[in-house]
């Protein structure tokens, strides 16, 4: 599959942003089929991070997602989709979020494949990492 230079460039630029989560234990879902297979097979709790190239993903969302994993209670499974990169997979995951507005970056805590807690971009942007970690850990303590 030949990629145009722009797509190839953006993939290269985004790779460290992907690696930041995958190195922390998140599994990347890059196709709609992978998303569907995951949702159908998942049990228990899952943190889904909708990753993005924006500054608030880099400075807030990814660091908060990683820091939240030091809580006593954490999700059993960690997955990520990349908005703007893996568009179809991201759309498919958002379909599983129900009526929630699409938001990048964002984080969803799922229990048995259903959203039980959601953190949209507006609860990430202009917030401190510690506030986002507290938001996540409160949800973990309630649902995990």
Note if the pTM is more than 0.85: yes
Rounded Cα distance, 102 and 106, in Å: 8
Q: What is the DSSP track for the chain?
A: ----HHHHHHHHHHHHHHHHHHTTTPEE--SHHHHHHHHHH--SEEEEEEE-SSHHIIIIIHHHHHHHTTSSS--SEEEEEETTTSHHHHHHHHHTTTTPPP-SSEEEEEETTEEEEEE-GGGTTTS-HHHHHHHHHHHHHHH-
User: Is 2 a domain residue?
Assistant: no
- For residue 70, the domain's CATH number is 3.40.30.10
User: Is 4 a domain residue?
Assistant: no
User: Is 41 a domain residue?
Assistant: yes
Which pLDDT does position 11 carry in this prediction?
A: 84
User: Is 43 a domain residue?
Assistant: yes
- Residues serving a catalytic function are 54, 56
Low-confidence ranges of the chain (pLDDT < 50): none
User: Is 32 a domain residue?
Assistant: yes
Which pLDDT does position 52 carry in this prediction?
A: 93
Which pLDDT does position 6 carry in this prediction?
A: 85
Which pLDDT does position 112 carry in this prediction?
A: 94
Residue 86's alpha-carbon distances to 27, 129, 140, in angstroms, are 14, 25, 27
User: Is 3 a domain residue?
Assistant: no
User: What total number of domains does the chain contain?
Assistant: 1
Which pLDDT does position 70 carry in this prediction?
A: 97
């Amino acid at each position: 599959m030949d990629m145009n230079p722009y797509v190839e460039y953006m993939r290269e630029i985004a790779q460290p942003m992907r690696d930041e989560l995958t190195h922390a234990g998140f599994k990347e879902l890059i196709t709609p089929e992978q998303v569907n297979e995951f949702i159908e097979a998942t049990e228990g709790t899952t943190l889904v991070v909708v990753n993005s190239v924006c500054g608030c993903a880099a400075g807030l969302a990814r660091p908060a997602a990683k820091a939240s994993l030091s809580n006593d209670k954490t999700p059993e499974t960690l997955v990520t989709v990349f908005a703007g990169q893996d568009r179809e997979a991201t759309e498919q995951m958002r379909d599983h979020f129900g009526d929630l507005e699409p938001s990048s970056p964002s984080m969803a805590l799922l229990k048995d494949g259903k959203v039980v807690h959601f953190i949209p971009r507006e609860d990430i942007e202009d917030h401190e990492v510690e506030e986002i970690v507290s938001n996540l850990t409160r949800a973990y303590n309630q649902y995990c």
